Amino acid sequence: MSQPALAVKTGDPFMNSDIIVELLKQLRALDTYDTFEGWPEEKIIDPLILTKERKREIPIVGDPDETTLARVKAYYNAIASLIEKKTGLMAVPVINLTHEGFGRAFVLVGKLIAVDKTLRDVHRFGFPTLEELCVKTEQIVDKAALLIDQYREVAEA
């Protein structure tokens, strides 16, 4: 039986981006059973890439499994970590999900909600390409940093 091809290719320039480096740290931190031991970084990040073909294979309605929930947590932990690095203030991710995969994700900085994202269909969580993951995440982090600069007093409270 052959292994399915990875959507993330070896040598992809986006593998060196801040978000991917941080996301790999977070995914490894949540890997309590050392499942990723010896795996190449591309294989670890690959499940977050949902090409059109991969998305078609996932049912439209479904409950997220624990592995998918761990990926969502790792993603928002990585965003919080990048916000901390950029602003120098502690950022805390808060994720509230129903068993059906609906809910919200926040990143709090002090008393400021720096990131507020409605989550739907979490069982299909992912990005079409590695580039899109990097670009969208960078936009989220930049927007949060601007908000923190604008309301610094609240963020420091």
pLDDT digit string, tens, across residues 62-107 = 889 999 999 999 999 999 999 999 999 999 999 999 999 999 999 9
Q: What is the pLDDT of residues 2-20, one digit of tens each?
A: 456 888 888 889 999 999 9
pLDDT at 16: 95
* Residue ranges of domains in the chain, CATH in brackets: 24-155 (1.10.3100.20)
The Cα 68–Cα 30 span in angstroms is 12
pLDDT at 1: 40
Q: What is the pLDDT of the chain when averaged over all its residues?
A: 93
Supply the DSSP symbol for 65: P
What is the greatest pairwise CA distance in the chain? 58
